Amino acid sequence: MRLILPVLAVFILVCLPVSAGEKDQIDVTAKLVDIPGKFPPDDLYDYAYIMKYEVQGGKLDKQTILVAHYKPRRPRKKIKDKMKKYIGGKLKKFKVGAVHKMTLDPKLDEIWQDAVIDEYFATDKKSTRYWCLKVDSK
């Protein structure tokens, strides 16, 4: 009986789910500097769209980063599908020049495995693509 409890405890610890990249998440304030092209209609398919930001302050100050937003045509509060647990914030519309407060996760591939529209890939394959977990206007 003594062996069962430690083995069970180890089994539970190993099998507990950990949210994707929670310890790696970062909060940034950044200016949206580029939305390449046009967003496709939301009813065609589910997709994430990569946009370019310049960080203002903090750990990534003055860095240009690439951020994936799920179905950017929709206000964040109106996302009610399977991705709701990975999308938050009050932003209603993405507009170049706007400053956003965001919570980002660098592990895009762990959160999103479907279509990604990335106009920067041809010229920049090395930069991290962050998944935006939460976005608000500053």
User: Beta strand 26-34 with 99-105: parallel, antiparallel or unpaired?
Assistant: antiparallel
> Would you state the pLDDT for residue 2?
42
Structure tokens at 97: 């020049």
Q: In this predicted model, what pLDDT tens digit does every residue of 74-129 receive, in sequence order?
A: 999 999 999 999 999 999 999 999 999 999 999 999 999 999 999 999 999 999 99
Residues 6+ apart with CB under 8 A from 105: 20, 21, 22, 24, 25, 111, 130, 131, 133
Model confidence at 23, in pLDDT bands (50, 70, 90)? confident
The SS3 call for residue 41 is: coil
The structural domains of the chain, with segments of one domain joined by +, span: 19-137
Q: Which of 96, 103, 92, 105 is nearest to 137 (CA)?
A: 92
Q: In this predicted model, what pLDDT tens digit does every residue of 96-106 receive, in sequence order?
A: 999 999 999 99
What pTM was estimated for this model as a whole? Answer: 0.83
Q: In this predicted model, what pLDDT tens digit does every residue of 50-74 receive, in sequence order?
A: 999 999 988 899 999 999 999 999 9
CATH tag for 19-137 (out of 1.20.81, 2.40.50, 2.60.40, 3.30.43): 2.40.50
